[in-house]
Amino acid sequence: MSVLELKDISGGYGEADILHGVTLTIGEGEIVVVIGPNGAGKSTAMKAVFGLLRLSGGTITLAGEDITGMDPARVVRKGVCYVPQTNNVFSTLTVQENLEMGAYIREDNFKPRIQEIYEMFPPLAEKRKQRAGELSGGQRQMVAMGKALMVEPKILLLDEPTAGLSPIYRKEIFDTVRQINATGIPILMVEQNAKQSLAVADRGYILVDGRNRTQGKGSDLLQDPEIAEMFLGG
Amino acid sequence: MEFINFYLLPGIVLGSIYALGAIGVSLVFGILRFANFAHGELMLIGAYITYSLFQFTGLHPLAVLPLAMVLTSFIALGIDHTFYKPFRNSKTTIVIVASFGIALMARSAVQIIWGVDTFSYSSGRIEMPIVLFGGLRIFMKHVWIVSCSIGLMLCIHTILSYTRIGKAMRAMSDSAELARLTGIETEKVVRATWILGASLAAAAGVFLGLDSHLHSMMGFYMLLPMFAAAILGGIGQPYGAMVGGLVVGLAEELSSYPWLGDSPLLPPAYKAGVAFALMVLMLLWRPSGLFRGRVF
């Protein structure tokens, strides 16, 4: 059974629809990447999961349960964690406080989990008392991912985690994505860096104009000549 | 000595009162994203509830203040639930206008219940100052006001820095959307904000009443200096509001000291203008305030 399924989703923010019947499924333990040109509705599809969108059609199910249009706070409690592309850390809170907020919905002792996150992202351990807004872009991304992982989610959604990062950090983030996935957490990721992201992904979807264009195994999509021409720079 | 007795000490007392009010303005602005023009009326309500409790029980106003803080918090929660909640996703300007309406209603309600006469907590007694070091005159009420204000500010600091709900308040002030996406119950944070803001406002109102007297316009007159203090400190920054309050209070009192020659630098009637001038200068020079608050 799929962990998360978006079926035939249509909708947008204002009057006009941005998505016209998008379907995405993420199975147990998978890394799924969504690529496509600007304005294809990649990030919008992700926001639909969190009820941040006016939906005009389609259903969203989490492990078989219908969560269509559910309030974001409840979706988080169901075990879906989302890292937005920008504005994804509390900038005036310290690194440690950001992680504590990530665990806001946990009633148990989450201190050991904070230690695990620091082991996963060693640079954060040194900066635990520093405000998240003062960190570099790459480290902020680590805080955002660490914060989302505090609840040991059923699925992690990442919106362009490498946007605006230098190639070194980009590689580090993709390594981290694989590392998180290795602990059994399925990941749905929207990406601009098609080549690198397809290389870490099990499967990929290509969206164009708010519709599914192609889908397939990451390695197959990488070798598809048409896709290569469209997104991978020839 | 005259400078300390009649300008510096009253400035510190007034500054502490402004600071308590400004913290509430700043918290509400940071979390609910609107300038609450009814904040002065929360002070008014707190001061009058304390007056009634003081009349009824015969206890010192400071002894009944905690109960008044609780009651004022309930009133603030009721106002939020009835008037502000339906506007939660509306434009800021709409909520600001609503708060202006609430200020008028609350003030009228106080005038209907308690009348428009001036009251005093001291019931005619005139407190004599304690004279120290051959000239330093200290009023016990001022010692109480300043030490209670410091105590309350330490409480706020502890709540914001060390408790789960306090951290969630700061988180929501940073980004309300991210707070929702993190699973923080934003309505609970909003309620906590009103409770803290209203409690501090009630305390500020009582301290102001202790320092002088109670009248139904006291909340309205506090509005300008409180906003000046909040803006000076950086709106949305509670620590900035503490500093801003002290600066505005001191500036108002010190402006009428005879710095040049024998007459006051500014006639005392212009005190309110000092707060306004500080606010305008700050907005021109550094709109984000001393502590880098929000700019819209």
Going residue by residue through chain A, which has 234 residues, state the pLDDT in tens, using 9 for 90 and above: 788 888 888 888 877 888 888 888 999 889 999 988 877 888 888 888 888 888 888 889 998 888 888 888 888 888 899 998 888 999 999 999 999 999 998 888 888 999 989 988 888 999 989 999 889 888 899 999 999 999 888 999 999 888 888 888 888 888 889 988 998 899 999 988 888 888 888 898 888 888 888 887 777 777 877 777 776 554
Q: What CATH number did the domain enclosing B224 receive?
A: 1.10.3470
Distance from B205 to chain A by nearest Cα, in Å? 31
CATH code reported for the domain at A1-79+155-234: 3.40.50.300
With tokens 């009721």, the residue in question is: B78
User: Cβ contacts (< 8 Å) between B177 and chain A: which residues?
Assistant: 87
pTM: 0.87
- Structural domain contains residue B294: no
Q: How many angstroms separate the CA atoms of A53 and A50, rounded?
A: 8
Nearest CA in chain A to B171: A90
- Asked if B178 lies within 8 A of A104 by C-beta distance, the reply is no
Partnered with residue B162 across adjacent β-strands are none
Sequence-separated (6 or more) residues with CB below 8 Å from residue B235: B25, B26, B29, B30, B289, B293, B294
- Structural domain contains residue B292: no
Range list for CATH 3.40.50.300 in chain A: 1-79+155-234
User: Cβ contacts (< 8 Å) between A89 and chain B: which residues?
Assistant: 178
- Structural domain contains residue B293: no
Structural domain count of chain B:
1
- Structural domain contains residue B296: no
Query: How many Cβ atoms sit within 10 Å of the Cβ of residue B127?
Result: 11
Sequence-separated (6 or more) residues with CB below 8 Å from residue B269: none
- Structural domain contains residue B142: yes
Range of the domain at B105: 2-120+127-285
Average pLDDT over residues B265-292: 79
Nearest CA in chain B to A103: B182
Q: Which of A104, A143, A147, A150 to substitute to test the interface with B, most B CBs within 10 Å?
A: A104
- Structure tokens that stand for A173 in this block: 């983030």
- Structural domain contains residue B163: yes
- Structural domain contains residue B290: no
User: Please, are residues B26 and B241 in contact by the beta-carbon 8 Å criterion?
Assistant: yes
Q: Residue B169: what residue type?
A: M
Q: φ, ψ for residue A126 (rounded to 5)?
A: -70, -25
